[in-house]
Amino acid sequence: MKFFIKNSLLEEEKTDCIIIGIFEFCEFTCENNYFNESVCNYINNFIKRGDIQGKIGQTLLLYNIPHILSKRILLVGCGKKDNLNRYNLSKIVKESMKILNKFSIKNILFSLIGLNIKNCDTYWSIRTMVNAINKYLYKNFKINTSLEKDIYLYSISFHIMEKKYLHIANNSLKHALAINSGITAAKKLGNLPPNICNPLYLFLQAKKLSEKYKDKINVTSIDIKEMNSLGMNAYIAVGSGSKNKPYMSVIKYSGKNTIKQEKVIVLIGKGLTFDSGGISIKPSKNMNEMKYDMCGAAAVYGTLIAVAKLSLPLTVIGILAGCENMPGGNAFRPGDILTTMSGKTVEILNTDAEGRLVLCDVLTFVKRFSPDVVIDIATLTGACAVALGSHFSGLFSNDEKLACDLEKSSRQTNDKIWRLPLSSEYEKELNSSFADFSNVGKGKAGAITAACFLSQFSKEYTWAHLDIAGTAWKSGRNQGATGRPVELLSQFLLNESNFF
């Protein structure tokens, strides 16, 4: 699939189809679409006859239009003129793609950039449209099954009416394609079955990044032997019941323009390639979805791909904390007390609260990089999904500026997050009679007490925690990884690098 930005007269565009927006009440502005009067009159005849009313997503495909070189024009409804927003723009693009694909159309041109979209300039219009296109085109694949080709598109172009916006448009397209490559990679990794995607597999995928981006990315692994020497006992304990031993992948990205004084940003992704709950075993219903417990690691992996494609002038260290939580003769138990890499002790009350045990040792490990910012991303608690559902990821932070920066990136991308509190009242829930902390609270505010647990190991950092338990994948008929929050993290890094 190839993407282009074009600035030309639409009637001179020789393509298979041009997509044009029509508002409700038959509002069609010829001037905004750069068509000559005869073409406008021809299209208006169909609108006046009521063949299309302009409701969002409604479509009408026209053939043999006089005085233009394009084979077809697709009219697509955009709803009320004053209500067009980015959500509706995504819906409009999706409906357009459905129609075009039915007719095996190969080359298309979108002429929607000039529409008055609320809080959305040329840059964000293109980002929104590319996101919608890639979301539509992504298909889950079946293992060892050849899929019949059902997508015929070869090229997609976006029409820019004024040359002064060409630079912005090209930047937007570059950013969108890089970020969507990361989102797609995260989805593919997240959707793999746990008998293929185990901790070692995560490392091998990370290693491929160092081969593809030799001058930008270096990848090393920390295996169980080295974890033992480092004292990462909590991390090791989680994987002790599984034949698939823990592997931690360290992905270091260095931008070409990086200087010593620049920030070091660490992204930590929880990579539980399968979580049975261990001795505190989960119910069998929907346990298959616990293959998605590594979506935090998948998001970090995808974000590093986007960063490398964009060559951002930053130092970014991505950690894929690969592990598998299984019951077995060697598995850790409720009642065990573990000494973490930091030296702090943890009483295990529930082996299904394992992600925080992996992350607490990684939060201590990354101290060696002298990070300025640390963000961990984890499918950490079902409690967060209960609190926020599937639309918002939970945000926790010990730093106001970092929280505000992430919230800004969220607003820009519509990858939604909601900040939840961190305070000493909740820390008391983790009190233990036998260790420094217990690994779970008393049953209330589970997402918050989990974040409070992690905060005990991140006091030296400017730190944020994203709980993506409700947003990392979808269940039911359309089950699959979402690729969130790759776009949010990528935008945060774009903002940090002032790369516009």
The string of DSSP codes covering 205-222 is: HHHHHHHHTTTTEEEEEE
Q: What is the pLDDT of residue 478?
A: 87
Length of the chain: 500
Q: What is the pLDDT of residue 34?
A: 65
Q: What is the pLDDT of residue 364?
A: 98
Q: What is the pLDDT of residue 146?
A: 56
Nearest to 213 by CA among 173, 182, 259: 182
Question: CA-to-CA distance for 196 and 167, rounded, in angstroms?
Answer: 43
Q: What is the pLDDT of residue 31?
A: 46
Q: What is the pLDDT of residue 149?
A: 55
Torsion sign, CA atoms 19, 20, 21, 26: negative
- Other CB atoms within 10 A of residue 46 CB: 17
Which of these is catalytic: 216, 270, 291, 356?
356
Task: Give phi and psi for 83, each to the nearest 5.
Answer: -110, 10
Nearest to 112 by CA among 79, 135, 70, 137: 79
Q: What is the pLDDT of residue 451?
A: 98
Question: CA-to-CA distance for 100 and 110, rounded, in angstroms?
Answer: 12
Q: What is the pLDDT of residue 212?
A: 96
Per DSSP, which regions of 244-402 are E strands?
Answer: 247-254, 264-275, 315-325, 337-339, 345-347, 373-378, 393-397
Q: What is the pLDDT of residue 41?
A: 84
Question: CA-to-CA distance for 127 and 288, rounded, in angstroms?
Answer: 34
| DSSP H helix total and E strand total for the chain | 15, 19
The question of whether 282 is a catalytic residue gets the answer yes
Which of these is catalytic: 94, 282, 416, 419?
282
pTM summary value: 0.95
Q: What is the pLDDT of residue 111?
A: 92
Going from the first residue of the chain to its last (500 residues), give the mean pLDDT of each consecutive group of 10, the final group possibly shorter.
Answer: 90 92 72 70 84 90 90 92 89 92 89 82 94 90 63 86 91 97 98 98 97 96 98 98 98 76 90 98 96 98 98 96 97 98 98 98 98 98 97 98 98 97 94 97 95 97 98 94 98 88
Torsion sign, CA atoms 29, 31, 33, 38: positive
C-alpha distances out from residue 12 to 159, 175, 341, Å: 12, 28, 66
